[in-house]
A and B are shown apart, each in its own frame.
Chain A
Amino acid sequence: MAKHFRSGDAGHLPNQRKSGGIGPPDELPRQRRGTTPQMYGRYPDWDVLSQQGHWDIVTRNVVLDRVQKVPPFRFFNEEERRTLKAFSDRVTAQDKEPRIPVMSMVDAKLDAGELDGYQFAGMPDDRDVWRIVARGLDETAREAGGHDFASLSEEAQRQIVGRMADGELEGGSWEELDVSKAWSVVTRHILSAFYSHPWAWNEIGFGGPAYPRGYAAFGVGTKEHWEPDPAFDVDPVTDTQDRGLE
């Protein structure tokens, strides 16, 4: 870690927090325009979709389809869906609606055989990795006294996910693969679905597609006139009260 931190500004970042864990970002403002996953974000007035008139038609179609046409599940069966939805909700911290339909998007890619072009030696095909992970999560959940993974408390689910991230799950289906490599395979798919979605771009203040408009202001601390300002300092309590939301 860097040693010369400036005071203040980066204190919210997980590696910088004095007290261990990090929970839901209750200190963040509610989204006022557009949608973000769970309706909080650093840019409450940023709706990247409001810029779509500036995008070339091919890109616009691809991005709008992603929002408007949620693909039906074809690849995963009923049980796998239930387990993996809960799993991906914990990985991406999607505790409530609105949620980006991550598993539908992953399902469509697996169903179409759109894989990433490599497979670790000794590991099954990515599609099989997903099914084994779903089975393994349920098995581990049963060891923890649950009926299956999805029926555990969110906290208990997070513990299992944490053990998977650390490569520590074992026994049963987990013996069929290298757990750390399986974590890398499934999170890669989850993240490329989540951060391809314009709702996630709203949350992080990303400008989105940029052809043919391009950018003119790219120096330190500069921004285009249409780009959002972060509202990091808005107090969520007064903010929600002011707007009559609670």
Chain B
Amino acid sequence: MKTPRNIFKGSIRPPDNDSAFILHPHKRGVPNVGRMAHYRDDDEVDMLIVGCGAGGGVLSQRLARRGWRVVVLERGPFWDPDRDWVSDEAGSHKLYWTDKRIVGGSDPVQMGKNNSGHGVGGSMVHYAGYTPRFHPSDFETYTRDGVGADWPISYWDLKEHYERCEAELPVAGQHWPWGDPHGYPMGPHPIGGSAEVAWKGAEDCGIEMRVGPVAITNGAFGNRPHCIYRGFCLEACKVNAKGSPLITHVPDAIEHGAEIRADCMAIRVEYDESAGRVTGVTYLRDGQEHFQRAAAVAVAGYSIETPRLLLNSKSARFPNGLANSNDQVGRYVMVQGASQTAARFAEPMHMYKAPPPEVSSEQFYETDESRGFARGFSIQTVSPMPIGWSEHVIADGHWGYALREYMRDYIHWTVLGVLNELLPHPENRVTLTDEPDQYGMPIPRFDYSQSDNDRANIAYSKKVIQDIWEHADAQDTLTIDRYAHLVGGCRMGDDPDESVVNSDHQSWEVPNLFITDGSVMPTQGSANPALTIMALASRLADRLTSKRVDAQGLRAVPSG
């Protein structure tokens, strides 16, 4: 059932976040940067957050609203969409985290543009924009299916925060029948040719699809305009239609006194042996080393950088890295299988128009024993721009004249992808190499290998999308294997020996150290992770500000 709120095409104002109204109606940059608070390095702020992405951005806004003195250190720039972003694929290279990472294991994961971003807004600046929730089952895969791990919290702990974040982004889509069924604050967007044929093929083989859910305005929202269907979501949205923390949380955080300190690379979280607490973070700005003092530190640098920062923060008490006596930091990093099958149709599809995230299905999300593997996958439209399309074609083995021929056929093609829930494994981990980077910090290494269950899941899901295209009367198909998303690396849990943080994102060993990004996830479901990362940060903020986190963790908990 659609919620009656869907009849409003314009904005529903979230009760405790004015970001969309603080933005300027015509200029895209965050307007209140000029009035931002500035703290001195020797001011002991209440919370120092490393990383201004999905997790860090939301946490900063929530805490600032409740009167906490917050500083966020962000390695990348403070983006101004008008000035910095382009409607061009190659010109968007600067959005990605492109510092060197060594990738190993039997199934190495290609990083760069496909995995993480930097700058205020984090990876959500150039994420596709899909914002599904996790299913209740995702929080207890071990109990239900004997695989993965149970989370120390349940879906119901996050539900309220899913709803709040969906209202803030805001999410547009049809009523969602899977997992815990729910509606969205904005109605579904119109769909393009790619989604039309995918829908038809899916329907023909008995697979239900839904439009959305996407964090893209459908109608005006505050001063954020309607999407213009130009298709460059993965190159960052110059329109301010697609939501990222840069426009959904940072303006309100600044308005409430948070300082977002861009172009600052955190290199060590400092630990005071006698107090048994962290005291702040050492960071580099313009090549100069600084130390920001803080009563508590939250690390939110995403699944490679968060473990790397902890592993690099060595002390006599923690010779193997901060909060890592149990050797859990950097383990259980996960990626989702993301094979894609392109299909050719007689009519032009123009897949580069309209947002790449259009329609999706979670019909195969849950375990079905008859399929021969545990857990499942989701199906989504993805629509590569020309460079992405050429990578698809060459991955299928075509170069030279054949490559050019497939490329000339571009407008006739469209692409469906899957997201497989690949299972967590302790050896899929981030470690440090001996080679220093430009900051003098050791370059990280990420090893990844699939399990048999993972391979079976991927193989099965590829047959399903192939089937959809056959039922849609595709004339030719090309399939490639790839990965998407990163989570895990500092997982939360109930057992101090088997996890890095507790259900309040608090280090088992250092009470004023928190981790508030995708790296805390013990399992990943087959939903895209950003919304869940935001909801987790929102929940933690609630617990911190209502003093439900064990008080010894925080010295100067402000009132509010």
Chain A residues within an 8 Å CB radius of B347: 220-221
Stretch from B89-97, B308-316, B319-327, B549-557 forming part of the interface with A? B89-97
Q: Assess the A223–B87 pair: CB atoms within 8 A.
A: no
Nearest chain B CB to A19 CB, angstrom units: 13
Assembly CA distance A157 to B390 (angstroms) = 22
Nearest chain A CB to B117 CB, angstrom units: 11
Assembly CA distance A24 to B404 (angstroms) = 10
A16, A192, A213 — most chain B CB neighbours (10 Å)? A192
A interface residues, tally (CB under 8 Å): 76
Assembly CA distance A103 to B87 (angstroms) = 24
A23, A24, A218: the one contacting B350 at CB < 8 Å is A218
> Any chain A CB within 8 A of the CB of B88?
yes
Chain A residues within an 8 Å CB radius of B193: 218-222
Q: Assess the A15–B88 pair: CB atoms within 8 A.
A: no
Q: Assess the B400–A118 pair: CB atoms within 8 A.
A: no
> Any chain A CB within 8 A of the CB of B470?
yes
Assembly CA distance A35 to B391 (angstroms) = 23
Q: Assess the A1–B476 pair: CB atoms within 8 A.
A: yes
> Any chain B CB within 8 A of the CB of A32?
no
Q: Assess the B399–A161 pair: CB atoms within 8 A.
A: yes
Q: Assess the B476–A5 pair: CB atoms within 8 A.
A: yes
> Any chain A CB within 8 A of the CB of B466?
yes
Tell me whether A220 and B112 are in contact in the complex, defined as CB-CB below 8 angstroms, given that A55-B87, A212-B228, A215-B354 are known contacts. no
> Which residue of the partner chain A has the closest CB to B200?
A220
> Which residue of the partner chain A has the closest CB to B405?
A14
Q: Chain A 111-126, CB within 8 Å of chain B: the 1/0 string?
A: 0001111111110010
Q: Assess the A165–B401 pair: CB atoms within 8 A.
A: no
> Any chain B CB within 8 A of the CB of A142?
no
| Residues of A contacting B: mostly | loop
Tell me whether A42 and B400 are in contact in the complex, defined as CB-CB below 8 angstroms, given that A62-B86, A214-B228 are known contacts. no
Chain B residues within an 8 Å CB radius of A221: 193, 347-348
Tell me whether A230 and B86 are in contact in the complex, defined as CB-CB below 8 angstroms, given that A62-B91, A194-B390 are known contacts. no
What are 21 residue pairs bridging A and B, where the CB atoms are less than 8 Å apart in the complex? A2-B477, A3-B470, A4-B470, A13-B409, A56-B238, A63-B88, A115-B100, A117-B111, A121-B108, A161-B400, A193-B90, A195-B389, A200-B386, A203-B407, A204-B408, A206-B385, A211-B239, A218-B354, A220-B196, A223-B350, A230-B411
What is the interface of chain B, defined by CB distance below 8 A to chain A? 82-91, 93, 96-105, 108-113, 115, 190, 192-193, 196-197, 228-232, 238-239, 343-350, 352-354, 385-387, 389-391, 394, 397-412, 445, 447, 466, 469-470, 473-478
What is the interface of chain A, defined by CB distance below 8 A to chain B? 1-6, 9-10, 12-16, 22-25, 28, 41-42, 55-56, 58-59, 62-63, 66, 90-93, 114-122, 125, 158, 161, 165, 187-188, 191-196, 200-201, 203-207, 209-223, 227, 230
List 6 A-B pairs, minimum CB-CB distance, nearest first.
A214-B228, A117-B112, A121-B104, A196-B90, A210-B230, A10-B475
